[in-house]
Amino acid sequence: MLPSLLQVTQYESAKQWEYTDLTLECAGIRFPIHRVIVYPKVAAIKAACERGFKETSTRVYSIDGFEPSTVELLREYLYTGDYTTEHETRDDYGIVTLNNDPILSEALMPQLRVAAIADYFDIQPLQKLILVKVDEVLKIPWSSEGFAEAVNLAFEVNDETLRSKMATIVFDHLEDLLHQEFPAPFFANDLSRRVFRLTQNRKRDMEGEIKELSNEKAALLNRLEQAVMGYKLAVVYNGHSFVLKGTCLKCGQIRNYNKSELDSPHCERCQLWLSS
């Protein structure tokens, strides 16, 4: 949803300390804010400020464990419904887009930091927005540079969808991540790295087998074109390989053929009867 002029104006006035009545503080940096904006969206801050904790008298709410730049993105979101990381631009209409081809992990990190703070304050609309933005970021061409750090950060966030997105990307680029000179930190456990490598080799073998089988099937289908009148042939997979199943349309007898005796599929019974 695009921010209204009013929202943008309110955000600008907050940055100028105009009529602000609450301050978020992070690592010594202060972010003035309007209670009327933050209370409806962040229940934890509202509760702390209203229930007679020290925040009530000081009108300062301390946020620990996050970077000030992330708190600024949170504040921008609370006012405008979106936020612009250092790799994003907001145009005149308020639409936020990615700018100048950042490296994948560089573009991901600030999004994941916002995901962490959204999770911490349980701001569900923001969590949903982040997933959309992460999908956009994941369209950036693959680069393993710094990616492990991004994965580790993503897994600190309690968001099933986010975790599964990251796991999918890791799976798609397992080969690359496993064969780096310095394996990614999440494969620091030697056992897991070995298991992943085996899985990867097994997958390659299976892909080879599937290709072989489909070639075999194509060859058999080719033979089918020479099917005899009055005799129906079908290609059937028996769990190990493809075989031909022949059915006589006259007497209904069914017979399996192996590849060596394919040259003249026929019904022996009817042939016998015809020739007698």
* Whole-number Cα distances in Å, 104 to 134, 145, 147: 10, 8, 8
Is the CB of 193 or the CB of 269 nearer to Zn ion? 269
Residue 233 is a binding residue for Zn ion (CB under 5 A): no
Residue 235 is a binding residue for Zn ion (CB under 5 A): no
Q: Which of 44, 69, 67, 48 is nearest to 59 (CA)?
A: 48
- What's the closest the beta carbon of residue 221 comes to Zn ion, in angstroms? 23
Residue 266 is a binding residue for Zn ion (CB under 5 A): no
- Give 147's Cβ-side CA count (13 Å radius): 25
Is the CB of 100 or the CB of 276 nearer to Zn ion? 276
Residue 224 is a binding residue for Zn ion (CB under 5 A): no
Is the CB of 9 or the CB of 253 nearer to Zn ion? 253
Is the CB of 132 or the CB of 274 nearer to Zn ion? 274
- Counting residues that bind Zn ion (by CB under 5 A) gives 6
- What's the closest the beta carbon of residue 226 comes to Zn ion, in angstroms? 18
Instruction: Give the tokens for residue 108.
Output: 């991901």
| Under 8 Å between Cβ of 33 and 22 | yes
Q: Which of 6, 112, 11, 132 is nearest to 69 (CA)?
A: 112
Residue 38 is a binding residue for Zn ion (CB under 5 A): no
Provide DSSP, 21-54.
-EEEEETTEEEEE-HHHHTTT-HHHHHHHHTTSH
Distance CA 82, CA 16 (A): 20
Residue 248 is a binding residue for Zn ion (CB under 5 A): yes
Instruction: Candidates 251, 259, 261, 266: give the one binding Zn ion (CB under 5 A).
Output: 251
- What's the closest the beta carbon of residue 228 comes to Zn ion, in angstroms? 11
* Contact residues for Zn ion, defined by CB under 5 A: 248, 250-251, 267, 269-270
